[in-house]
């Protein structure tokens, strides 16, 4: 274990710089293997879970989902507020912010970002609910890639760049998650579903988030302030993968569905615009969830 950590530190120090020592002793941060092991367990559950549930009845999980989504909504709001207030009163710069500024503000940002990192572990439950409810069509490559990668990426963020320019993407994502998890919490109550109109715009908001994060990251490349340049290039590359995958999801889910509905209407199809026929959801119009 110690030999592995030394090699890991040596590699990343040659790429990003020395490891930040301010977070030593924080839960899950001292060593990488626990984060990696939790991700492997997650992937095993993704693989084996649907097989286990195949011949078993689906669970409703409705009450638990309301509590879970409400909890993540509140946690996301807390992180957004803490990061927003810290960068506002701490005088963080939009174009570039190094990892050492006012100690009290850096500490506040680091505490909020640790919760952000830990929330990526909590969000594995999104997938577990899909498995228990037998909504396997929602367990897409995008869903798994996004959940597994974010948890691991943020372990490295917290160990090398736990504040400074790292604040922006996490702040935006926390705001998006307030909107998203509040929607999913409310949609778990059947009587409220007809009044929830903003699901389509969640993906649009996510795409705006990715483009803004890329722009803000590239600003630090143009106007450097000591923030590790290697991380900036990595973040831009990762955002590109999310833009491609989320754009494809949006096209497949909304654009093609809209085109299909127009064709059905022209052909006199009995399908209604909400994708139901004879009280059952049409397989072609199942709503996917993207986080």
Q: Catalytic: which of 100, 137, 146, 147?
A: 146
Collapsed DSSP state (helix, strand, coil) of residue 175: helix
Collapsed DSSP state (helix, strand, coil) of residue 277: strand
With tokens 């228990």, the residue in question is 132
Residue 179 burial class via C-beta count within 10 angstroms: exposed 0-12, middle 13-18, buried 19 and up = middle
Task: Yes or no: say if 248 and 206 are a contact pair by the CB < 8 Å rule.
Answer: no
Task: Yes or no: say if 144 and 46 are a contact pair by the CB < 8 Å rule.
Answer: yes
CA 78, CA 157: separation in Å to the nearest integer? 20
Whether 146 is catalytic = yes
Q: Tell me the two tokens of residue 144.
A: 């798994």
Q: Tell me the two tokens of residue 65.
A: 């989902």
CA 139, CA 229: separation in Å to the nearest integer? 34
Task: Yes or no: say if 189 and 66 are a contact pair by the CB < 8 Å rule.
Answer: yes
Please enumerate in sequence order all residues whose Cβ is within 8 A of that of 163, keeping only pairs 6 or more positions apart, or say none. 99, 101, 106, 109, 110, 113
By annotation, the residues acting in catalysis are 146
């Amino acid at each position: 274990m110690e030999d592995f950590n030394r090699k890991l530190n040596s590699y990343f120090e040659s790429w990003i710089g020395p490891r930040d020592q301010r977070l030593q002793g924080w839960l899950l941060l001292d060593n990488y293997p626990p984060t990696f092991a939790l991700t492997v367990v997650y992937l095993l559950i993704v693989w084996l879970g649907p097989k286990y549930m195949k011949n078993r009845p689906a669970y409703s999980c409705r009450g638990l989902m309301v509590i879970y989504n409400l909890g993540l909504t509140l946690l996301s709001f807390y992180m957004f507020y803490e990061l927003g207030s810290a960068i506002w009163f701490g005088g963080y710069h939009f174009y570039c912010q190094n990892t050492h500024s006012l100690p009290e503000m850096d500490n506040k940002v680091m505490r909020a970002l640790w919760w952000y990192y830990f929330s990526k572990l909590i969000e594995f439950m999104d997938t577990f609910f899909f498995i228990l409810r037998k909504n396997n069509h929602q367990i897409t490559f995008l869903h798994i890639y996004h959940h597994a990668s974010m948890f691991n990426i943020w372990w490295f963020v917290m160990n090398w760049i736990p504040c400074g320019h790292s604040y922006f993407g996490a702040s935006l994502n926390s705001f998006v998650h307030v909107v998203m998890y509040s929607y999913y919490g409310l949609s778990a109550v059947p009587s409220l579903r007809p009044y929830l109109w903003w699901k389509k715009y969640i993906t649009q908001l996510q795409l705006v988030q990715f483009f803004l994060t890329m722009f803000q990251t590239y600003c630090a490349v143009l106007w450097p302030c000591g923030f590790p340049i290697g991380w900036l290039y990595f973040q831009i590359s990762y955002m590109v993968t999310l833009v491609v995958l989320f754009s494809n999801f949006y096209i497949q889910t909304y654009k093609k569905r809209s085109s299909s509905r127009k064709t059905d209407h022209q052909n006199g199809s009995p399908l209604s615009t909400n994708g139901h026929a004879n009280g059952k959801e049409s397989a072609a119009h199942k709503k996917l969830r993207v986080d």
